[in-house]
């Protein structure tokens, strides 16, 4: 018999941002590192999230031993409920990551059947032929780790997401000593985060944002709204500390902001002094100069808390002239249009808006390593084989070039999702491909998983038809100029004789009447509201799910 081989198979996350997932296979045993999602592009109509195609794991389900999590971000844990519904294996992760996973599984009714095993940095756990050690790293959230996986052929290191922050706000330093120790003993392969591989120098410490926020809190006379990624617990802790220092109360607004801060507080990652916290409903009545609201929606999602506040459609978050709004996050590529439209709305509210492109000291720093830190990781681990991961091809290629000076690196592999990288005693090589792809999730329901957008749309239209509401809206006033028209194919008879289309027009009119003029002038918001209301009504009346594509005519 031939010697067993070690295979590394990326199922997502290479050549794209998001859907991070890597399978390691030795003999008859497979472990999976991370299970992330991706948020859809604008053209993926009706799709809420995108997850990896796990056909390879389903074909080999008897060999899958565990899913290993590096940290808690959605692009690393977001696909777990959908995967565990198909393959119920133990999930290992740190306390914060598993707490977020528990919440997701509870929503899907999967928590009771799941096996979640909590680990801490420094733990070494055998799983089949693999022994995994979790190593503490600094990133933009809490409880982040990289993995050192000892296999019969050598050590594989997977960095997860990281930056090397010399002055982390929680005092928990990156465990470079353990990384260096593995490098001295010999590393077979390094799989390393490439997100910031195009950026020269090193990524600033999380502490560098304090200067600008000190200035903001010192000079702001009215309410302060801060929107950041809701998993950025270090950033949220800074806001809480500054509120205490400047005699302000703090309120958390938005579902994900409330959920994540509750979990972080319960686990001891977020410390809130007694008497500082306001309920969301109390924030509006509080003295404007003595309250700060941490609000979700930094990416301009149409129905997020901040986007709704920007069009004056949020009960607790009411932005008035003179209020300060800080977007303390990066702009995720593809979200530019929605974010800048929301920023324009905030300026229309006569708010003082501060964001990454506004100049001055930073209100956000990245959680990913830049070139100097990536080179340090290579120098410490001295891998025999180097595989850049997490990024599009230009980031992977730039990262690959950073290791060219190291004589210890025998070969660097630029992989695509689905490539099989095979190791044995003779070396490493690409050895074929497995099935990969994107699975689109509509309305967050496991029952509505679709494997391919073209097939999905064809099946969707053939079975349930298509409904196209057409609404003419005056861009300047937000006024509806003419009654809505509805074009449908394959749903009801052309004349709408069964009354469904007449009722649908009434639903549209009601939605428009209940929306503000600014909402009607914001195409992203009003389209989503019309689509959601019609979808709910049609499903209730007919149990069908036509494809609904609202069209706004600008007058």
Cα–Cα distances in Å, from 152 out to 3, 156, 253, 424, 425? 11, 10, 50, 10, 10
Cα–Cα distances in Å, from 178 out to 98, 148, 202? 24, 10, 21
Active-site position among 368, 390, 460, 537: 368
Known catalytic membership, residue 464: no
> Chain centroid to CA 247: how far?
33
Contact 363, 371 (CB under 8 A): no
Here the tokens at position 242 are 């500054």
Instruction: State the chain's maximal CA–CA distance in angstroms.
Output: 77
Phi, psi of 73 (to 5 degrees): -70, 150
Cα–Cα distances in Å, from 5 out to 27, 90, 356, 382, 428? 7, 24, 47, 22, 10
Cα–Cα distances in Å, from 312 out to 289, 307, 315, 343? 20, 9, 9, 13
> Taking the CB of residue 511, how many other CB atoms lie within 10 A of it?
23
Q: How many Å apart are CA 463 and CA 166, to the nearest integer?
A: 57
What 3-state DSSP class applies to 533? helix
Active-site position among 175, 193, 419, 522: 193
Q: How many Å apart are CA 118 and CA 102, to the nearest integer?
A: 12
Q: How many Å apart are CA 339 and CA 330, to the nearest integer?
A: 10
Known catalytic membership, residue 193: yes
* Secondary structure (DSSP) of 479-506: -B-S--EEEEESSS-TT-TTSHHHHHHH
Residues marked active site are found at 193, 368
């Amino acid at each position: 018999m031939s010697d067993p081989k070690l295979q590394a198979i990326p199922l997502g996350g290479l050549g794209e941002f998001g859907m991070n997932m890597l399978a390691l296979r030795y003999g008859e045993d497979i472990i999976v590192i991370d299970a992330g999602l991706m948020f859809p592009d604008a053209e993926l109509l009706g799709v809420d999230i995108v997850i990896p195609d796990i056909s390879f794991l389903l074909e080999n389900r008897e060999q899958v031993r565990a899913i290993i999590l590096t940290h808690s971000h959605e692009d690393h844990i977001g696909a777990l409920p959908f995967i565990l519904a198909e393959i119920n294996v133990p999930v290992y992760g740190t306390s914060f990551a598993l707490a977020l996973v528990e919440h997701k599984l509870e929503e899907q009714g999967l928590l009771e059947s799941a096996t979640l095993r909590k680990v801490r940095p420094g733990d070494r756990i055998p799983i089949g032929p693999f022994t995994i050690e979790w190593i503490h790293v600094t990133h933009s959230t809490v409880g982040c780790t990289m993995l050192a996986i000892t296999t019969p052929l050598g050590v594989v290191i997977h960095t997860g997401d990281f930056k090397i922050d010399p002055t982390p706000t929680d005092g928990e330093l990156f465990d470079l000593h353990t990384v260096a120790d593995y490098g001295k003993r010999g590393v077979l392969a390094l799989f390393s985060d490439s997100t910031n591989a195009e950026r020269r120098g090193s990524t600033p410490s999380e502490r560098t944002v304090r200067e600008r926020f000190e200035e903001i809190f010192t000079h702001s006379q009215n309410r302060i709204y801060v929107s950041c990624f809701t998993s950025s617990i270090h950033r949220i802790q800074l806001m809480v500390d500054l509120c205490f220092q400047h005699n302000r109360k703090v309120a958390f607004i938005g579902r994900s902001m409330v959920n994540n801060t509750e979990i972080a507080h319960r686990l001891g990652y977020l410390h809130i002094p007694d008497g500082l916290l306001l309920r969301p409903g109390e924030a509006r009545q509080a003295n404007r100069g003595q309250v700060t609201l941490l609000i979700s929606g930094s990416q301009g999602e149409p129905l997020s808390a901040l986007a709704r506040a920007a069009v004056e459609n949020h009960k607790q978050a009411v932005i008035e002239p003179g209020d300060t709004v800080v977007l303390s996050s990066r702009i995720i590529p593809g979200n530019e249009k929605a974010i800048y439209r929301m920023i324009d709305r905030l300026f229309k509210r006569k708010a003082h808006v501060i964001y990454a492109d506004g100049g001055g000291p930073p209100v956000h720093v990245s959680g990913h390593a830049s070139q100097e830190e990536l080179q340090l990781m290579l120098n410490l681990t001295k891998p025999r084989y180097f595989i850049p991961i997490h990024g599009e091809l230009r980031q992977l290629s730039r990262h690959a070039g950073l290791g060219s000076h190291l004589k210890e690196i025998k070969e660097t592999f630029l992989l695509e999702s689905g490539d099989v990288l095979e190791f044995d005693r003779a070396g490493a090589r690409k050895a074929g491909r497995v099935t990969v792809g994107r699975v689109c999730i509509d309305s967050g329901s496991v029952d509505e998983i679709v494997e391919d957008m073209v097939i999905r749309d064809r099946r969707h239209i053939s079975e349930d038809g298509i409904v196209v509401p057409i609404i003419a809206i005056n861009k300047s006033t937000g006024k509806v100029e003419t009654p809505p028209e509805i074009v449908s194919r394959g749903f009801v008879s052309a004349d709408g004789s069964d009354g469904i289309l007449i009722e649908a027009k009434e639903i549209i009119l009601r939605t428009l009447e209940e929306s503000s003029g600014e909402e009607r002038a914001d195409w992203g918001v009003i389209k989503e509201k019309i689509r959601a209301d019609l979808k709910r009504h049609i499903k209730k009346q007919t149990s069908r799910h036509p494809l609904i594509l609202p069209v706004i005519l600008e007058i």
